[in-house]
Structure 1
Amino acid sequence: MKKVIATLIAGLFAGAAFAQTPAPATAPAAKAEAKEAKEVAKAEAKEAKQVAKAEAKETKAAASAAADVASAKADAKEKKAEAHHKAAKAKADAKHEHAAATAATPATAATPAVAAAPAKK
């Protein structure tokens, strides 16, 4: 019995001593794993940054295109209004010239109407 107790006590001491020593084989593996995790996180951050940059560029291009369309519409509206104004002015000038030409010609005496002959029966 004393041998059994002595073996158990020796096992306890051996276990305690073994638990206190660091395991040298797991330390490099942990470092490699941490380094890999860090690289993965870095790559994901870089990817997210590139995606955000591309989306910003796309949004800027869309805004620029919308501004170009709005500008083109405004220009078209302005040209249309200008053309309408020119056409109205040309009509008014033509009407004025026609009225002036009509007023400039002397009025001729009205010719009397020819009496109609009575209808034959």
Structure 2
Amino acid sequence: MQNFWNKIKLIWTDVILRKRVLFVLFMLVVFRLLSAIPIPGIDTLELSRFLTNNQFFGILNIFSGGGLSNLSIIMLGVGPYITSSIIMQLLTIMVPALKRIYHEEGEAGKKKFTQY
């Protein structure tokens, strides 16, 4: 336990490390604040009602980490890429052709897979 507190003390004594840790914490706060801002023109109540009534989009909301239910401006960034990569990974289980491309064709197959 003493080793843990020594490392915490090192964060505050080393100026460069302290700046880096504070920058990361600041960026996490900014990210969380921006993720609470919905896209202008979107009725969030109607969107949440739609997601609860539609089973497919409800599951898609779960896979996107709940970002689809808020439809924030952060979701416009890497959200679609992350969601599509999760869906493609799940499709490799269900579609034999995708499984063959991803697992059997090596690095070229993985590049083709990420292109989709």
TM-score clears 0.5: no
Report the TM-score, using the length of structure 2 for normalisation: 0.26
Report the TM-score, using the length of structure 1 for normalisation: 0.25
User: Greater relative contact order (Cα 8 A, min sep 6): structure 1 or 2?
Assistant: 2
Computing the radius of gyration from Cα coordinates, the structure with the larger value is: 1
